[in-house]
Amino acid sequence: MQAIAIDDEPFALEVVRNLLEEIPFIQLAACFTKAVEAISFLQDNDIQLIFLDIKMPGLSGIEFIRSLPKPPMVIFTTAYSEHAVQSFELDAIDYLLKPFSFPRLLKACNKAYEFQQMKDNSKQIAPETLPIIFIKSGFEQIRIDLADLRYAESIGNYMKLHLNEQPPIMSRLTTSEAEALLPVNAFIRVHRSFIVAKEKITKVDKRSVWLNETEIPIGPSYITEIEKLLKSTPK
């Protein structure tokens, strides 16, 4: 996986660089002391992971991630614990408190690697052969035929899965974890809290996508993806 690191302290960047040299599946492509300097690099390069400090002059790590239309995976590296809840609301892979050990960093990187593998595997599934998956709901593993999944909705720490002619299913997942389970050629994220089945979309306007009578808002950072979908759909 290609990664970058952003931290206003050069020494902290050097620590990350040295530790990552021991992790063969992570290639550190670049380091930045200012978040704003990384924006053009992300636009020009395929980066899967960011190691990101939070408290930085100018643009903070939280503000930086929120500014990206489709942010890569992020592992926050910070000396402060008070932003942990906020970071996981942004679907961070992990939150490392400085000074962190190599085993702790390796654990975070393994989580990112597994997440990337899930995403890569989902891209290989054709929409006409949507698989059956099992989702944990309470103490049970519930079988879901993805052809019946209309949309997934984030509610607090849970995802509510809305199915054809079946009661919704609640599962303890983040939106990014749910997104990684779903084939990208069959499902699209339209909002920070919503993922919808492309074939179930019946109408699109400036603010919403519609699944028959169900209106789902479009988040500002997802408008470009919706436009791409509309352009790629046969007229």
- Cα 18 from chain centre: 26
Tens place of pLDDT for every residue, the chain, 235 residues? 999 999 999 999 999 999 999 999 999 999 999 999 999 999 999 999 999 999 998 888 999 998 888 889 999 998 877 767 676 677 788 899 999 999 999 999 998 988 887 777 655 555 455 678 888 888 888 888 888 999 999 998 899 999 998 899 999 888 888 888 888 888 999 998 999 999 999 999 889 999 999 999 999 888 888 888 887 665 5
Q: What is the length of the chain?
A: 235
- Cα 67 from chain centre: 14
Domains and CATH numbers, the chain: 2-123 (3.40.50.2300), 127-232 (2.40.50.1020)
In angstroms, the Cα distances linking 93 to 83, 107, 118, 230 are 14, 11, 14, 31
pTM above 0.75, yes or no: no
